[in-house]
Chains A and B, each alone.
Chain A
Amino acid sequence: MKLGARVVRDRWISLGVFIAIAAIWQVLSVIYTVEAVPGEPMVAGWQVLFTKTFLSMADYWAGGLGVPSVAEGADRSYPAAALSLADHSLQTIIRLASGLVVGGGIGLALGLAVSWSRWTRRLVDLPVQFLRTLPLLAMVPLFQLWFGTNIAGEILFVAYGIGVIVFAGTVNAVRNVPSIYIDNARALGASRLTLYRTVILPAILPEMRSTVLLSLGTGWGAVLGAEYLGAQSGLGYVIVYAQQFAYLDRMFLIALLFIVYTSISYWGVSKLTARMLDWAPPSQRL
């Protein structure tokens, strides 16, 4: 079988697998009709998810834009539901993006600063290793204690999670730059700063790719963690409230939305970074 044909076949199989899972879920919802709370099935079929559950998202709409909210006495409507989902998604994505920028920036800057000499690198080695082993999501209570429930604390939490990974990734990547590159640039009379700008920064890019993808995954987890405790908006907030009333169908809808978002972001970032690394020899692309 030719490689191209195999790729096409694999795509069809993937599609088939997803359809099969969806179908199994539907069958399960018909067979297993136990309800978590009256009126809320443990396994919600697709017909429920896309009508009743989707409509119930209108409950989380705060009003505005000419679409009245449920709190104002209006009935649940599709526009309100759609707007509410869009709004909460946007809140989550803003938190994630700010955290990525802040944490990624600080992590990269500190990582490069520490890599200045072998001495500083050894000095930070153990503390960073320790910070990395601390379970990030278990630190949510600590951040809540420090920053309360305002948005700065949520962003800082995401930034911390991402910063630690980017920092460690940067230090590691600089360490792995072949010393011949550095020696050669030195022999040609490059100063430390020139060396950083023209040799080290480009050389660590291929290795930073996996760090970026890893921090993206951590970021999605961290933003949810931040919203779990105290946020008044965002997808995490919707999930927490749904869980308190055991509204499994709402949780499932948000989970699906989340899978779609994470998949899109992974796909986008890996395409983008692959494109940015076109110049690197294939053996260096991770």
Chain B
Amino acid sequence: MTTVTATVKAAPRRVRPLRLFAYGLAAALDPLRLAGLVVFALIWEGLSSVLSTIILPPPQNVVARLWTDFLDAPSLSYYGVANPNLYANLLYTAENVVIAVAIGAAIGIVAGLVSARFSLVRAIINPVMMTAGTVPILIAAPFLLIWFGVGRLSAVCLVIFYVTVILYLFAQRAASNVSPIYEEFARTLGASQRQIVVDLLIPATVPEILGGLRIALAGAWGLEAVSELLGSQEGMGKVLEVLAGATDSEGIMASLLLLGLVAIIVDAIAGWAVKRLASWNAGLSSERN
């Protein structure tokens, strides 16, 4: 059995996490790519000098607004937002995202792995997941808002629903991508069903599943914000809704900027963590090709 584990976990870590991080940093600090950001800001600046500030506020105003509103935005309290700053609302959104991704991932991964092993289960779950995956969020959200009321529960349920579908698909694909040779080899060595799952299936599928988790996490921010936009008392979505009602384009763009930045940072951390956690993947995939 140890042989199989060793095969799957293939070789020690060749790429040091630190070096990986350094590569990532170098790529992020590529002068040309940074210049792209500057050009983007300049175009925005140019457009905003032509159009009125209500339509398109200049980038420095948006950044300044984000800076001041982050800790304290008294204007929000006039519209009935419980915590009149972006920080607390962002935290609320983040909490919901974390809870939803954790629950959704657990359901999706288990269902995906089981369905890849048993064709009968797959035949039963697949049509449900495929149909559920095509339902646009704006169709599903109103039902949840009426069934569960305006609050944390309906937003979290909505995100769980989507994370589950994504991870189901990823886990299923990951498990069917595992070369049958591994399992045959393990069986010849007398591995039990449980050992195959624990020592072979899980290590072999983790890299791909983590990739799916990263995609789900990136999408979850948007979904959470939208479901808060449709009905919530707190969160970034609520802030956006309030600012939209006040036709405050500067505030809207500042909130969107914050959401985008947080999503990028979380994604970068997740990407780094995935590479670190699944560092045996390099050996596995090179063997497969």
Contacts and interface: CB of A to CB of B under 8 A. Distances in A.
Contact of A142 (B120, B123, B136, B256): B256
Given A129-B264, A255-B135, A262-B134, A139 B142 contact: no
A9 B138 contact: no
A146 interface: yes
A21 B56 CA distance: 48
Given A127-B36, A248-B146, A135 B222 contact: yes
A13 interface: yes
Given A138-B222, A138-B229, A133 B260 contact: yes
A147 B16 CA distance: 51
Interface string B226-251: 10010000001100110110010100
Contact of A144 (B32, B56, B244, B264): B244
Interface in A1-49: 6, 9-10, 13-14, 17-18, 21, 36, 42
Given A138-B222, A266-B134, A251 B252 contact: no
B40 A127 contact: yes
A258 interface: yes
B139 A138 contact: no
Interface stretch (B1-9, B71-79, B125-133): B125-133
A266 B33 CA distance: 36
B225 A263 contact: no
Interface string B34-45: 111101100000
Interface in B106-151: 119-120, 122-124, 126-128, 131, 134-140, 142-143, 145-147
Given A246-B146, A262-B134, A145 B244 contact: yes
Interface in A229-286: 236, 239, 243, 246, 248, 251-252, 254-255, 258-259, 262-263, 266
B142 A138 contact: no
A141 B226 CA distance: 11
A133 B241 contact: no
Contacts of B120: 13
Contacts of A236: 138
A254 to B, nearest CB: 8
Contacts of A203: none
A119 B147 contact: no
Interface in A95-124: 119, 122-124
Contacts of A119: 32
Given A126-B33, A248-B143, A138 B39 contact: no
Contact of B32 (A122, A127, A221, A246): A122
A127 B264 contact: no
Contacts of A134: 222, 256, 259-260
A272 B137 CA distance: 26
Nearest to B227: A137
B252 A259 contact: no
Tell which of B54, B131, B253, B267 has the most Cβ of chain A within 10 Å: B131
A138 B32 contact: no
B245 to A, nearest CB: 8
Interface of A is mostly: helix
A228 B264 CA distance: 28
A259 B139 CA distance: 9
A258 B143 CA distance: 14
Contact of A133 (B124, B137, B263): B263
A138 B225 contact: yes
Nearest to A15: B127
Contacts, number: 145
B153 interface: no
A141 B36 contact: no
Given A127-B36, A134-B260, A141 B252 contact: yes
Nearest to A219: B136
A135 B225 contact: yes
B128 A251 contact: no
Tell which of B37, B128, B138, B253 has the most Cβ of chain A within 10 Å: B138
Given A122-B36, A127-B37, A129-B264, A137 B222 contact: yes
Interface string B12-34: 00000000000000000010111
Nearest to A123: B36
Contacts of A6: 119
B182 to A, nearest CB: 21
Contact of B34 (A124, A126, A136, A145): A126
Interface string B160-182: 00000000000000000000000
Given A122-B32, A130-B37, A258-B135, 12 more contacts: A10-B123, A124-B36, A126-B40, A127-B39, A135-B222, A135-B256, A137-B138, A138-B225, A141-B229, A145-B252, A248-B146, A251-B143
Interface of A: 6, 9-10, 13-14, 17-18, 21, 36, 42, 119, 122-127, 129-130, 133-142, 144-146, 217, 220-221, 224-225, 228, 236, 239, 243, 246, 248, 251-252, 254-255, 258-259, 262-263, 266
* 3 closest A-B pairs by CB: A135-B222, A141-B244, A127-B40
30 contacts: A13-B123, A14-B126, A18-B127, A122-B30, A123-B35, A126-B36, A127-B39, A133-B264, A133-B267, A134-B222, A135-B222, A135-B225, A138-B240, A138-B256, A141-B243, A141-B252, A142-B244, A142-B253, A145-B252, A217-B134, A228-B138, A236-B138, A243-B145, A246-B146, A248-B146, A252-B143, A255-B139, A258-B139, A262-B135, A262-B136
